[in-house]
Structure 1
Amino acid sequence: MQYRNGIRTTMMVLAAASTALLATACQSGDDAGATKASSTRPESSASAANGPSLPPVASESAESDSPAKACAADALKVTLRQATQRSAGTGTGAVVVRFTNVSDKPCELKGHPTVAGAANGSPQHNSPLKTLTFGTATAVRVAPGGSAWAKLNFVQVQGEADGYCASGSDPVTYPTLVIGLPGSGSHQAALDDGEIAECDNQVTVTAVSKSELS
């Protein structure tokens, strides 16, 4: 009898131990699930707070590269100065034209200028010069306050005093020039010092450039 009671007691202890282990395993599984859930909640919360991803905003550099309209006539100020690099002689030789953007928006200049000699009065009363072009015309973007340039090379007057033309024609003098540019109007301007003296009523013009010419 005592032997059977010992076996019964042992079996009861083993059953109690198994129950305790099962309870511990269930509790550990619940804790792991809770840990996993708690670790994912902040991530879900962060995604909700940030909202959907948005496309990148266009940068200023991209805007600055966008096409600009041709410079209107009233957006330009045109000035003339005698070139430092010009053919030998007593005439003007060469003139640098400066186109300055006086508007508050960027604009574009493109092409070879047209040139006419004029007096100090109305620019409509002028004498167009035969124009020969030099260089390839490309669009030049001019920022507000910025400039672009072109160069005019005249047939030089030779000799002293009033001089002479190598062709045998008579030299001609103009107080002002009327400079035209495709899509950008015509502009009357004078040299800051002196008048324009040239031969043969002919001029070679460069395309508008973003680099200052000499």
Structure 2
Amino acid sequence: MQKSSISIRRGAMAVAAVSVAAAMMTGCQPGDAETGSDDVSSTAPTATSSSPASSPVSSPASSTSTGTSGSTGTSVKTCAPNSLKASAYQAADRPTGTGTGAAIVQFTNTTAKPCVLQGHPTVAGAANGSPELNVPLQVTPVGSASPVKLAPGAQAWLKLTFVQVQGEGDGYCESGSAPVVYPTMVIDLPNSGAHQVALDDGQFAECDGTLTATAVTATKPS
């Protein structure tokens, strides 16, 4: 997050405020998520583990490709939830503002066999290890979804772009709503499980509970 300008205290209040509504909603449950730590600090969360949707339109571009898109044959299975390690970091190319703006979610095949990822994610804002506080966010999928074959140790990515927080201090939303801060996000991929991730340099700050998401891709987004 830029300059950590979003008050964690305000974020915590926002998460608490939505906890009752979230418990009544059917959101992403990171029950099968891998977590790198049993106790993630709310002041310094660490990414550990990884969410679906679907649709077409425009797709990300960029640099390093370690997976293979396209036809995968019948012998390569979909990546199981426990075969993936997921992490997240702020995107270099993101909307102007003081919130998170955009984040890249990275998936690594941790097994000795190839597997396939495909599709757009569903996303929920979350606390640290508290599924009952998950808040499903409205995801608009962008780009077409193609199979991505991951060799052992290979990686694939997707990009989340949020409604950006503006201003300094606690910040504000252009819509007039209050910014919300989530320590973690739950990313659920079709048939590959829900994975809970934290940013490596802050928390997720966004406006309006909406975002766009690319499909998982073998091309690393910027």
Structure 1 length normalisation: TM-score?
0.69
Alignment of 1:1-214 (within 5 A): 66-67=73-74, 68-214=76-222
The structure carrying a bigger helix percent of its residues is 1
Kept in 2, the 8 Å contact 1:178–1:188? The answer is yes
Give percent identity, aligned residues only.
60
Kept in 2, the 8 Å contact 1:129–1:203? The answer is yes
Deviation at 1:65, TM superposition (A): 5.4
RMSD: 1.3
Q: Which runs of 4+ in 1 moved over 4 A?
A: none
Kept in 1, the 8 Å contact 2:72–2:147? The answer is no
Kept in 1, the 8 Å contact 2:123–2:188? The answer is yes
Higher Cα Rg, which structure: 1
For 2:82 and 2:175, the matched residues in 1 are separated by 39
Kept in 2, the 8 Å contact 1:123–1:188? The answer is no
Kept in 2, the 8 Å contact 1:134–1:206? The answer is yes
**Equivalent residue, structure 2, for 1:27:** none
Name structure 2 gaps, 5 residues minimum.
Answer: 1-70
Counterpart AA for 1:198: E
Which structure's relative contact order is higher, taking Cα pairs within 8 Å and 6+ residues apart?
2
Name structure 1 gaps, 5 residues minimum.
Answer: 1-63
Deviation at 1:121, TM superposition (A): 1.9
Q: Secondary structure at the match of 2:82?
A: helix
For 1:102 and 1:138, the matched residues in 2 are separated by 21
Deviation sequence 1:80-131 (CA, Å, 0-9, x none): 0000000100000000000100011100000001110001123353001000
Deviation sequence 1:119-175 (CA, Å, 0-9, x none): 112335300100000000010000110000000000000011111001010000000
For 2:173 and 2:108, the matched residues in 1 are separated by 34
- Shift of the 100–159 alpha-carbon distance from structure 1 to 2, 3 Å rule, reads same
The structure carrying a bigger strand percent of its residues is 2
For 2:214 and 2:158, the matched residues in 1 are separated by 6
